[in-house]
């Protein structure tokens, strides 16, 4: 059975590395000229929580997705889609290396 191409496959074919939700947030904050500390204050969470997400040291949680969505008007499902595509890409790279 042949599968339809999905976004991850299309990005692979184009040589585009997907962004994690944290990396997407970092780019968004950069455009707004906001530091992680100022973003954290706006989201009512700790600066370390935002920094860990941006650096990839922690996964996106539902709570953080809701905070980001409310503060920056980014849909929760978009954040989880970014993360899913990124994690799928990472898994494929690991399988190819094995």
Per the model's pLDDT, the better-predicted residue between 66 and 4 turns out to be 66
pLDDT class for 98, splitting at 50, 70, 90?
A: confident
Highest mean pLDDT of the ranges 15-19, 81-85, 93-97: 81-85
Q: CA neighbours within 13 Å on the CB side: how many for 45?
A: 19
Whichever domain contains 70, its CATH number is: 1.10.260.40
In angstroms, the CA 20 to CA 52 distance is 12
Total domains in the chain come to 1
Q: Is residue 10 part of a domain?
A: no
DSSP H stretches of helix in 2-75: 7-14, 21-32, 36-43, 47-55, 62-72
pTM over 0.75: yes
Q: Is residue 50 part of a domain?
A: yes
Q: What is the mean pLDDT of residues 38-67?
A: 97
Q: Is residue 5 predicted with pLDDT exceeding 60?
A: no
Domain of 39, in residue numbers: 18-97
């Amino acid at each position: 059975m042949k599968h339809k191409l999905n976004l991850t496959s299309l990005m692979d074919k184009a040589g585009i590395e997907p962004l994690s939700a944290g990396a997407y947030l970092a780019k968004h904050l950069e455009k707004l000229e906001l530091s992680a500390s100022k973003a954290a204050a706006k989201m009512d969470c700790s600066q370390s929580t935002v920094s860990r997400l941006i650096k990839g040291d922690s996964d996106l949680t539902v709570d953080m997705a809701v905070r980001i969505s409310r503060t920056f008007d980014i849909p929760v499902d978009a954040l989880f889609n970014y993360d899913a595509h990124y994690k799928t890409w990472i898994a494929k790279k690991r399988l190819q290396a094995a």
